[in-house]
Chains A and B, each alone.
Chain A
Amino acid sequence: MEQPFNLTSEVRDNCLIITTSGYVNNVGGEAIAAEFARHFDQGTRHVVINLAQSRVVNSVGMSFLIEIIEHLQEADGKLVFSNLDPAVEKMLSIMGLFQYAGKEKTVEDALLSFHDTGKKGS
């Protein structure tokens, strides 16, 4: 079973890294969106969401993730997911999130992907 939802964040090289654990539902999605908004307002445009400890995401939770992607797109930013459980990866793929967001195996790979695209955030 999933653990209670929890979230931690850190900023590394101007990238926001949000690490979650537990069910990404309405509560989880709101918490992620709020954390994102706090950093977005301060100019962060590159975001990594590490879902290593979240094996279950529902569509309400996904709608928050989509909003984050849209906000970043409008601001020429980018979101990369990392450490995805195969079932979650498939869900996000079917919902079309990877058309506008990246995915990497680890947080480090995700951070490197920002370097690779030459879009190091402000």
Chain B
Amino acid sequence: MNGGTGAGTPARLFGGQIEALEKAFRTLTLAATLKDQAARLRDVLGSYFAGDTVRLYRRTGADWESVAGGGDETSSLLPTPAGDTGAASVLEGGKISVVQRLADRSEIGVLLVRRAGGTPYAEPDLITLRLFLALFDSVYRELAARRNEKDLIFSLNHRVLQLNSLIDTGIEVSKLEGAAPPHHLALERAASLTNASKGVLRVTRGGRTEEEGWFPHGSPPEGAVPREGGISSAFDFGGETYTFQLFDKESRNGIIPFDETDQLLLDALSRQVHASLENLYLHQEALEKQKIEQDIAVAASIQQRILPKSLPAIEGYDIAGINIPSKSVGGDYYDCIPLPDGRFAMVIADVAGKGVPAALLVSSFHAYLTAYLEAGIPLVELARRMNRVISRASTEDKFITAFFAVLTPSSGALETVSAGHNPVFLRHKDGGLVELSVGGVPLGMLDMDFPYQSETLTMAKGERLLLYTDGIPEATDGRQRLYDEDFPLKDYVRAHVPPRADAFIQELIADVKNFTGSAPQNDDITALYLLKT
């Protein structure tokens, strides 16, 4: 279409102009970019003015850049808009040059150099061109607004993405058995959320690098390895320093500086990793504790099976025993074992230490004891052998104090050997108390074949024998006072003579508990009481 000068009457001219402007508007609004819009305008102008040389330029600074129509040798012809006028135009030598300032302060310039057929451009053409450029500005404002809106939506979505990813990463790094180490995942996420092109995590101890992992390739990038620059965040854990560093923030226009939000994100991810490592450490500690508790439970179960469920009835005697384990597994043991010749062996023992090793040693003690008793080995020899086998079965810090007694019920004869155990009390009927402690060293303390000695006495009617472990004399009250052997234990043994052995045991335990009050029981309490009726 040629809508240029001399195309007809003014009415036809205006009608054609309006129609051309409407068409131009529809065409220009389809453009996705300024360059596209400029190209479309060039086509419109070329068609409307029948121009065979239509050139468009744009400048955002001092220099013009060709955006449609090619050639820049004529850009010097473009005028500069004065002040706030926003537009400038020149008609000279049949050529038109018009400049329109756009909404973003850049300028678009159009040169109509030559019309097909050679007709020079005239004043009406200049006016029409200015109308086209005003339209161009209007459409560009709309395009810029759409682009700004799109950028804003993208930016808002990206903020949502960053927050969401921060939450997700927090959950993922806190997984105790995640697929990837938490610090590697955090580095990956930090790089992508901040648009860093690369990043590194260094774990150092005392200035020495113990671990170094790069994103995205796992190893340092080719070329110079950046040591500084970018942003970083660090924390200390377990004597090591974990440092995250990100480099080269990307944009569509090249590398740009990291901003405050990037630093906040990196710090947040770094804190999440710190918390995750602490949680992992605590979790492992809890698992180890759980394992120990399971071992202790097994040991306690073994120990409880070794202890007698009931004691044998001895004609002319009444016997009772008790074992109250403390919270941790101890190593107390007691029993009364009938011997093939009609006698009875009474034993009480205490392993130094607690826990699984003590329970295992008690188990060995029980096995050897029953074997030797069944073999009819004399008490002194039994103690000697027990010392030897326990020495070999235990570590240096483990030993057993024990008291062995063999009773001949018919005569009341009692042979005893103490292997470093607490003195056993024999209470005469008149209240007198005898301490039985003849014997030797604790079992397993020294593997030097020490001899043991025994003592023999005869229990008369009404006499009583108390064997106990140190859980009783070492029980303390809230003020750390002991339920000591000299007082009050001996006094209690002298003063209390109930008719039944089990009554004595129960009342003794009640007295100890009454003494200690709310203080915790620190050791096993074991006692064996024999009363000749």
Contacts and interface: CB of A to CB of B under 8 A. Distances in A.
Interface in A59-81: 59-60, 63, 66, 70, 74
Nearest to B153: A96
Contacts of B197: 25-27
B195 A63 contact: no
Given A22-B216, A91-B161, A58 B188 contact: no
Contacts of B216: 1-5, 22-23, 25, 56
Contacts, number: 73
A7 interface: no
A1 B214 contact: yes
B195 A60 contact: yes
A90 interface: yes
Interface string A23-59: 1011100000000000000000000000000011111
Contacts of B184: 1
Interface in B169-219: 184, 188, 191-193, 195, 197, 213-218
B154 A1 contact: no
Contact of B157 (A26, A27, A55, A94): A94
B168 A1 contact: no
A58 B153 CA distance: 16
A66 B213 CA distance: 31
Nearest to A63: B252
B161 A95 contact: yes
A88 B168 CA distance: 12
B158 interface: yes
Contacts of B154: 59, 63, 66, 95
B284 interface: no
A87 interface: yes
A60 B161 contact: no
A94 B32 contact: no
Contacts of B252: 26, 60, 63
Nearest to B180: A1
Nearest to B151: A63
Given A25-B250, A90-B164, A59 B217 contact: no
B5 interface: no
Contacts of A22: 216
A94 B166 CA distance: 13
B127 interface: no
Given A74-B32, A94-B161, A56 B188 contact: yes
A96 B157 contact: yes
Contact of B217 (A1, A60, A70): A1
B165 interface: yes
Contact of A57 (B153, B160, B192, B213): B192
B262 to A, nearest CB: 12
Q: Which of A4, A74, A87 has the most CB of B within 10 A?
A: A87
Report the 3 A-B pairs with minimum CB-CB distance, sorted nearest first.
A1-B218, A2-B216, A23-B216
Contacts of B119: none
A48 to B, nearest CB: 23
Interface in A2-26: 2-5, 22-23, 25-26
B161 A1 contact: no
B301 interface: no
